[in-house]
Structure 1
Amino acid sequence: MTLPRYKNTFLTAAAASALLLTAACGSEATDDDSSAATAPAAAGGSADSADADPSAASSGGYAAGDYSAEGSYQTPGGTQSVVVELSLDATGTITSVEVIPQADGGNSEQFQGRFAGGIADEVEGVSIDDLDVSKVSGSSLTSGGFNKAIDEIKAQAAA
């Protein structure tokens, strides 16, 4: 069956729009597949040695203190990153967290802003060993950078 030209054009435009929206928003499968295969290793951060107390090792083997790390992840528009600053108590529980967006514009800036605004509700009061962030406030790709930064912070805080 042959569709009239205007219907064929409309259906093609609708399909292309759906594809672009899916690529821009990402999904958990895209996040897991693309960030694992193409994202560079997370940039290292450093613990604030004035605030870290190595003698206060938690049951998880972490020192209480304030830590910071940067994690990168892959988006359809290229590599992006976020800075994660958090405080751990003597039990390895996150007492405060801040995500500082590093996006260079476009959709990533919007998604990182939403992620940064909602992450504290998801992770404060949770043990750093129990974190498994996959999507916050509609942003699934940003979690890849967040999780890489958390891995770096775990290494920094290991007692």
Structure 2
Amino acid sequence: MSHLVRSGAWVAGALVAGVSLAACAADSAPRPIDESSPAPDASEVDYRDGEYAATGWYGSLPSHQDVALTIEDDIVTEVTITTPAEDPTSLQHQQAFADALPGEIVGQQIDVIALDRLAGASGCSEGFMNALAEIKTRARA
């Protein structure tokens, strides 16, 4: 059974996008900052206004969430997320995450969104961030 939590009036069909997850190796040695070519300011990246959807995969089951959001002037104005888990514990985490998500990202500039753990759900955050990366790629102007 699939549950849907949404913010706003629209529900976009989710596009299945396999997102591969890779482990990151920790490098304990600090690296010098190259000030000759500073990182681009988030305001320098432009995204096309519109509605975008992607699937974010996470965990070892694997689990997923279908994420749809609306971008206007590089700001997230609406978000919809499905909570398709069938396991009661997983579903509880997904629903708590989905309930908290709009309050965290609606009104935020898309390039500053960085979720690590939200509503006690770190896996859901990982899935959302993977879906967001796919959406950002599609929306780049």
For the aligned pair, the TM-score class normalised by the smaller chain equals 0.5 to 0.7
Q: Name the structure 2 match of 1:23.
A: none
CA RMSD, aligned part only?
1.5
Q: How many residues align?
A: 102
CA distance in 1 between counterparts of 2:52 and 2:108 reads 16
* TM-score calculated relative to the size of structure 1: 0.60
Structure label with greater radius of gyration: 1
2:131 corresponds to 1:149: yes
Within-5 A mapping of 1:6-155 = 36-37=22-23, 59-75=44-60, 78-90=61-73, 92-155=74-137
CA distance in 1 between counterparts of 2:97 and 2:51 reads 21
**How much has 1:135 moved relative to structure 2?**
1.3
**How much has 1:99 moved relative to structure 2?**
1.3
Indicate the structure with greater helix content: 1
Q: Which runs of 5+ in 2 are unaligned?
A: 1-20, 24-42
* TM-score calculated relative to the size of structure 2: 0.67
- Matched-pair identity in %: 33
| Runs of 4+ off more than 3 Å | none
